[in-house]
Amino acid sequence: MLTYIARRLLTLIPMVIVISFLIYLGLELTPGDAVSHMVPPDARSMMDEERLQALRESLGLGKPFIVRYWIWITGVMQGEFGYSLAGGVPISKIFLDRLPATLELSFAALLISTVLGSILGTISALTRGSLTDQSLTVVGMLGVSIPEFFFGLVAILVFALNLNWFPVGGRILPGYDSFWDRLPHLVMPAMVLSIMMTAGVMRYARSSMLDALSRDFIRTARSKGMPEWRVNILHGFRVALTPVIVLIGFRLPVLIGGSVIIEQVFQWPGIGKEFVSAVRSQDYPLVMMVALFSVLAVLIASLIVDLLTAIIDPRVRLGE
């Protein structure tokens, strides 16, 4: 197992280099650069072009693409994440400030969607063909079909502006600092972010559970006189859980990226919002680090899923 993990971790290095190079190349091919985004178009014709060029040089943007990439990648390997071009803020500080907010939101959404999705999917499978099953299927379809921002806006209108149950947005107010102070701010964005994933997990859990319930070992368990709830939960649900865990594992990094819209709608100060702003302003050191983080999150999530699958399902043998 350890050899397998070490081998997988080593394969991450070339993958990260290739992916980061491709992202860097993509940014390079985008017209303009960070400096060209610092001056609004309305004012550009009245600005001193020579001075802007000097700024470009001082920020290292005048160097050839490959040299800039080399400086960046070697810096990252030495633990130097660089600075945001726009404001000179260390990228490590931006991560420390923003990532907790995104992780808080993503984990909350993951927790809600996992618990709700698994339970509802199992109920749906166990009541197959009933009104409950059909209702849940319709709800699931709606959940995956309607975009998150729409749910977000409706939630703000109903729960924040009309009922006044939750704040309209933001993560915290001045003068407050604890998690419990933040909780009212977290509820709506986490619920909305989890809707689509809950629907996905529910559908996945339902089909997986139905598949498990049709297996021979379930019939064997029943024939041994085991109570129905034990058959369903101990045998059926455990086996049905494997593909669901794979889905959930792969959803976490997607959630980090997928929270961008929710962060915008709910004014949530996370890394997704920062990423959008960095892409728009072509702040390449920041874009690269967020992208690198996302790539690593996906790759590591994939490794964790493999390990968990092996633990849950003894038939899976790692490294073979």
Partner 1 sequence: MNKLLTTSAVALIAVCGTTWAWAQPINESELSDPRVRQAIAYAIDMETIAETLFEGAAIPAIGLTSDPANYPEGMNTYSYNPERARELLAEAGWDGSRTLDMVYYYPDQLTADFMAVVQAQLADVGIDMTYRLLEGDVGAQITGRPADPVNGPSVVEWDMLYGARAAIANQEYFNRFAEGQMPMIPTVEEMLPLVEQVNGTVDPAVQRAGYQHMEGIINENVYILPLYYQQLYIFESDRISRNGAPYGNEQYSYNSDVINWTVEPNEDGERVAYTNAAPMQFFELPWQNLGIWVHSRYAFDTILQADGSLRPIGGKLAESYEVSEDGLTLSFTMKEGLKWHDGSDLTAEDVVWSIETAALAPIVQPLVATTIGSIEGADAYKAGEADSISGISVDGRTVTLTFATIDPNMLMSFAQFAPLPKAYLEGVDPLQIQQHEFWQKPVGSGPFMIEEARMNEFTTLVPFPDYHRGVAKIDRIIALPSADGDANLIRNAAAFRADFGYTKNATDVPALEEMEHMNVTAVNIPYTRMFWINQFPRE
Name the site residues for partner 1 (rule: CB under 8 A): 30-33, 35-39, 41-49, 51-52, 54-55, 58-59, 83-89, 94, 97-98, 156, 160-161, 167-174, 264, 267, 269, 273-274, 277
- Write down the least CB distance from residue 260 to partner 1, Å: 13
The residues, any chain, with a CB within 8 Å of residue 265's CB and separated by 6 or more, are 148, 149, 152, 153, 156, 169, 189, 192
- Write down the least CB distance from residue 68 to partner 1, Å: 17
Q: By C-beta, is 143 or 272 nearer to partner 1?
A: 272
Q: By C-beta, is 141 or 153 nearer to partner 1?
A: 153
Which tokens belong to 158? 């109903």
CA 25 to centroid of chain Cα atoms: 24
Q: Are 72 and 24 in contact (CB under 8 A)?
A: yes
Please tell me whether residue 80 adopts helix, strand or coil conformation. Answer: coil
Q: By C-beta, is 90 or 243 nearer to partner 1?
A: 90
- Write down the least CB distance from residue 146 to partner 1, Å: 20
Q: By C-beta, is 258 or 269 nearer to partner 1?
A: 269
Q: By C-beta, is 171 or 206 nearer to partner 1?
A: 171
Which tokens belong to 182? 């933040």
Q: By C-beta, is 30 or 214 nearer to partner 1?
A: 30
- Write down the least CB distance from residue 293 to partner 1, Å: 17
Give the number of other CB atoms < 10 A from CB of residue 244. 23
Which tokens belong to 299? 């790759």
CA gap 213, 209 in Å, rounded: 6
- Write down the least CB distance from residue 185 to partner 1, Å: 10
- Write down the least CB distance from residue 53 to partner 1, Å: 9
Q: How far is CA 166 from CA 87, 147, 304, in A?
A: 33, 21, 35
- Residues across the chain: 320
- Write down the least CB distance from residue 94 to partner 1, Å: 7
Residue 173 has φ and ψ, to the nearest 5°, of -105, 155
Q: By C-beta, is 64 or 174 nearer to partner 1?
A: 174
CA gap 290, 268 in Å, rounded: 17
